[in-house]
Structure 1
Amino acid sequence: MPSVFSDLSPYPIVQAPMAGGASCPELAAAVCDAGGLGFLAAGYKTPEAMYQEIKRLRGLTERPFGVNVFMPQPSLADAGALEVYREQLAGESSWYETPLGDTDGSLDDAYEAKLAILLDDPVPVVSFTFGCPSRAALEAFAKTGTLTVVTVTSPAEAQAAQWAGADGVCVQGIEAGGHQSTHHDDPQADGTSSGVGLLTLIAQVSEAVQLPIVAAGGLMRGCQIAGALAAGADAAQLGTAFLVAPESGANALHKRAMTDPLFPRTELTRAFSGRPARGLVNRFVREHGRYAPAAYPQVHYMTAGLRKAAATAGDPQGMALWAGQGHRLARQLPAGELIEVLVAELESARESLVTGARS
C-alpha cells in the first residue's frame, strides 16, 4: 500500500470487517501478525463493546489494525410496508417460537459515541460503511494520526470521500459478500440486481480520484489479488476467505455452509436487514427476499430474533449466511497460514505476468 498506507502491513492484504461476530480480536490479531491488516467491526456493537474489543486486540498484537464504523442512516422505512413484511414473517415466528423484533431501534448505531472513543483513544485506521463522514470528522481523525478509509460503490461516492478528506477508499464490487455499502439506498429501486463488477469499478474510481484504493469483492485467491492490483488497486480486502478460519468468530454453521453443496450460489437480498446484502441462497431468502421492503435497519431488528433462533436450532436455512461470489473457493486454513498461501499465489501470479511480458 503506497504513501500513508505503506507502513500498515508488509503485504497488501486486508481482512474485511465483518459485522455480526466474525471479525473478532483473535482473527484480526492473527492477520496482523502474519503481515496483513486486520480489522474489527464496530457495527451492531455498543460503544463499550467496541472499546473492549479494541483493548483485547491490543493485548494480542502490536501490529497496526483498523476499526470499521457504520454511518447513521436516514429513516426510509414505510410503516405500511414494514407491517406487511411482519405479516409475511408470521410463519417464521411460529416455526422458531420467537417473536419478531421491535423495529423502533436506533438508526445511528451509536455513531457519535463510537467516534468519541476512537478520537479519545486513537487506533491506526478507521473505515466507514454506508456513507461518508463529514469533513470535520475526518479532519479530527487526521489530527490524531488515524488514517481514514471510506467504503464506496461508485466513482461519485469516491469523489465525495476525496472531497471530505478521506485518506483512502475501499472500492466494493457487486461480488462482495455482506451488505452493499452504497451511500444512499434508494427505496424505489430494486437494489438487489444492479451494481458494477470490481475490476471495472477499480478502473472507474482510479480515473475519478487521487486516493489509494483497497479493492473488495469476491477475492479468494492470490491471482485475483494480483488482478485487482494490476487494475489499479493498492491493496485487496478479503472477507469470505477469512470467515472460515478457525480464529473467525462466525457461527460454525455459517462456516460449513460456505462449501456445502446445498448452497451453491449467492444472491443480493433485503430479506434479513432491509438493505441489499449478498448471502448464500437458503430457504429464508427464497421465500421472503422478494417481499422485503427497503427499510434498514428496521428489518434487521425485526429478524434478529429469528436469525438467532435458527442458529440455536442448528438450522442454516433460517440464518443470514453472508458470503461473496467466491465462497466455494473458501479454504479452512488458520488466518496466518492463509496469508502465507495468498502471498505465495500473489508472487507467483506477478512472476507469470513478468515472464509473459518478456516472452
Structure 2
Amino acid sequence: MDFELSAEHRMIRETVREFCEAEIAPTAQEIEDEARFPEKVFTQLADLDVMGVPIDEAFGGLGGDQLLYALVVEELGRVSGGIGLSYAAHVSLGANPIARFGTDDQREQWLRPLAEGDGIGAWALTEPENGSDASSMATTAERDGDEYVLNGTKQFITNATVANSILVKAITDPDAGADGISTFIVDPEADDGFEVTTVWEKMGLNCSPTCEIVLDDVRIPADRLLGEEGDGWDQAMETLDGGRISIAALSTGLARGAYEAATEYAGEREQFGRPIAKFDAVRDMIVDMHRKIERARLLTHEAAWRYDRGEPVTRASALAKLDASEAAREVAEDAVQVLGGYGYTEEFAPQRFYRDAKLMEIGEGTSEIQRLIIGRELGL
C-alpha cells in the first residue's frame, strides 16, 4: 500500500501545526482549567477552511480526504486534547453523517453551516442506561402527522452546549430492535423541549463540553429525518468506522504532545553532571514512546487510506483506535515519569495529556469493544 502524503497534505498539516503553536498552545492549560469552550479557536479554524475537511466543496467543505482529516486532528490533539475532541465530534459525528446520508436540502440547510464553520455539530447516541450496548436505547420518536415527537435522555454528548445541530438516535419501531432506530436532526436553539441538564466536570478534556440532554416532547418536522426510518443503526455503524479513525488520530496527537514535552525536558534536565536523556533508563523509555507513536500513526494512516478507497474499514479502524488510544495513555504516563515531580504539576503539559488520554480508551467504543469487533472481523 502507498499512503504517502501529497504536497497538499503536507502544506495543510504545516499550516495547522503553525496555527496550533501560535494560537492554541499558549492557552491550552488555561482553557482547560477554566473548562471554557474556546469559540475564538473554532472561528479561526473556520478561517483556515478546515472545519469541513472531508466535506464536499459543493456544501462548503474543503473536499479533502480522510487522511488529510486525520492529519488535522492529530495536530490539534498534539496541543489540546479538548479542542481536538470537540473538532473531531463536530466533523465525524455532527457533519459527516449529513454529508453521507442527507438529502441535498438537508445538506444545504444543516451541513453547509457546519462545513463552513458557522456552526458546531454534535451526535447523540449514548444513553444513561445503555453504555456499550448502544442499540438498546429508550429514546423514542413517534410520527404525528407531518412531525415527529422525540422523548428521551442522552448521555455524554460532546458539544451539546455549543451545537447548532445535533443528530439524535431514537426508536421509531419498538418491535424491530436495532432495525427500528432512526436518526433525526435536532436544533437545540429552536426546538422547544430540548434541554441540556448536565455539563459534566471530567478528569480531563474540560474545554470540550460533555453533556446530558433531555428531549421532552420535542416536535420536529418530518423532513428532519436523516435517511429513512430504520436506517439509524446502520448509519451509526458506518459513522463509527470513520469516527474511530479520528479518535486514533487524536490519540496519536496526544501521545506526540506528551512525548515532545518529555524529550525536551530530558535533554535539558541534568543529574549527576549530564542530561537525564543520556541515562539508559530514560533513553529506553523515550525510545519506547517513539515506537508506540510511530506504530499508532501507521495504523491510523492505513485505516484512513482504506477508507478513502472505499474499502471496508471496520477491522482497520478498530485496530487503529485500540492501539493508538492505549499508546496515548502509556506514552503520557511515561512522560509524567520522565519529568518526575515536575510531571505531576500543572506547570508542565504531560499531566494534561495523561488525563486527556484516558477517555480515548472509553469514547466511541471502549478498548474491550474494539477487541470484540476485531475478533469478529477475524472470525473468532
Question: Under TM normalisation by the shorter chain, which class is it?
Answer: under 0.3
Q: Normalised by the size of structure 2, how large is the TM-score?
A: 0.23
More relative contact order, 1 or 2 (CA 8 Å, 6+ apart): 1
Q: Normalised by the size of structure 1, how large is the TM-score?
A: 0.24
Greater C-alpha Rg: 2
